[in-house]
Amino acid sequence: MSELEFDSLRRWPDLESPDLRAWDTADTLILDEAGARLRGAVVVIGDEYGALTLGALGRGATHVRVHQDRLSGELALHANSEGSFEGSFESLPLTPELVDGATLVLLRLPRSLDALDEIAALIARHASPDVVVVAGGRIKHMTVTMNEVLRRHFGTVDVTHARQKSRGLIARQPLTGTLTEPRRKFHADLGLWVVATGGVFAGTSIDIGTRALLGSLDRVAPFESAVDLGCGTGILAAALARQNPTASVLATDESAAAVASATLTALANDLAVTVTVTRDDAASTVAKRSVDLVVLNPPFHTGAAVHSGVSTKLFEAATRMLRPGGELWTVFNSHLDYRPTLERIIGGTRQIERTPKFTVTLSRKR
């Protein structure tokens, strides 16, 4: 697949921008380094919008097993693939089935070293002994520690020459005894466990924005149904379920790592019956006007790019779900000043708490 052909790939339309495209030079470097190995079955991990998967099919792969953490990436891959490529692909979770017997894995290096450790351990344990992992990324997002993480799980790790501000790491000779487990931490001040898989934001810690929102939850109005929108590890959902054991609480996120973590967090706190966890794009499957309360700590970036569209999309999801008079409690970086946007999309908004870094607001559905 040429760069001209790559230009036909589109991001999922929630983030349209002339500065955001569906591929970069790290994708072409990975495909070039894979070379003739692409003739056959291929595993792809971390493909943002389909460039690696469709590029592999365009260069001779007959079938691709692919894992994308973000659901919007999966939707974009399917949209970009329509009628354009021979061969087939299937989307799978980050489980042994994904890499079982694989001889070639194409990997976009994740930012998180814990995520890389989890992925490398899975490949080393379940792929073919002859597996070759061709990993790559933008140099500005790579560190030498990534090489060290791969060397925990593979006998050899080679570094490619840099090309157009991208670089590759080639790993071979898997060390099959390696294993990683989800991390667990008990937060005594909350009386709750947090369980985190490798790729989830903040790991087992609780970021200060979420802490600010947690500190305000005792002031929410009585509720029978609540949604933790963009749930991450599910700590907000767990806190709401503890606060109101008779309520129906949904934790939802488009990240597969987040959904796995929130599920484990609910189990660790004996809340698996009370808290339902789903992978969904902006809670699209939740019925309109069906929810009393939404809590949200929205991201303000996609990948490396700061982009307000992420938060706006989640505010719009909240107003769709909320019953008239229902409440959205959200926290955001104070300098972003989302209050006018919240008032426009949701309804009357008032400040609950403000520090130099974070602001907590309550918006009531008009």
Same domain, 12 and 151: yes
Same domain, 212 and 144: no
Same domain, 191 and 284: yes
Write down the pLDDT at residue 179: 76
Same domain, 245 and 262: yes
Write down the pLDDT at residue 306: 45
Distance of CA 170 to the CA centre of its chain: 24
- List, in order, residues 6 or more apart from 293 with CB less than 8 Å away: 220, 221, 223, 225, 226, 227, 240, 326, 327, 328, 329
Write down the pLDDT at residue 157: 98
41-100 per-position pLDDT tens digit: 899 999 999 999 999 999 999 999 999 999 999 999 998 887 666 679 999 999 999 999
Domain hosting residue 253, numbered range? 183-364
H-helix or E-strand containing 308? none
Task: Report residues of the chain scoring pLDDT below 70.
Answer: 1-21, 83-86, 300-308
Residue 113 burial (CB count, 10 A): 15
Same domain, 197 and 342: yes
Domain count, the chain: 2
State how beta strands 248-253 and 301-302 pair: unpaired
Write down the pLDDT at residue 254: 96
Q: Which of 174, 200, 233 is the last residue of a domain?
A: 174
**Average pLDDT value over all residues in the chain:** 91
Write down the pLDDT at residue 300: 67
Q: Which of 174, 199, 233 is the last residue of a domain?
A: 174
Same domain, 20 and 60: yes
Q: Are 296 and 326 in contact (CB under 8 A)?
A: no
Same domain, 166 and 187: no
Same domain, 268 and 168: no
Q: Which of 146, 174, 202 is the last residue of a domain?
A: 174
Q: Which of 337, 330, 303, 327 is nearest to 314 (CA)?
A: 330
**pTM of the model as a whole:** 0.91
Same domain, 339 and 288: yes
| Interatomic CA distance for residues 39 and 301, integer angstroms | 36
Query: Hey, what amino acid is at 173?
Result: Q
5-25 per-position pLDDT tens digit: 555 565 544 434 434 457 899
Write down the pLDDT at residue 308: 57
Same domain, 80 and 149: yes
Same domain, 281 and 304: yes
Return the CATH number at 120. 3.40.50.150
Same domain, 187 and 75: no
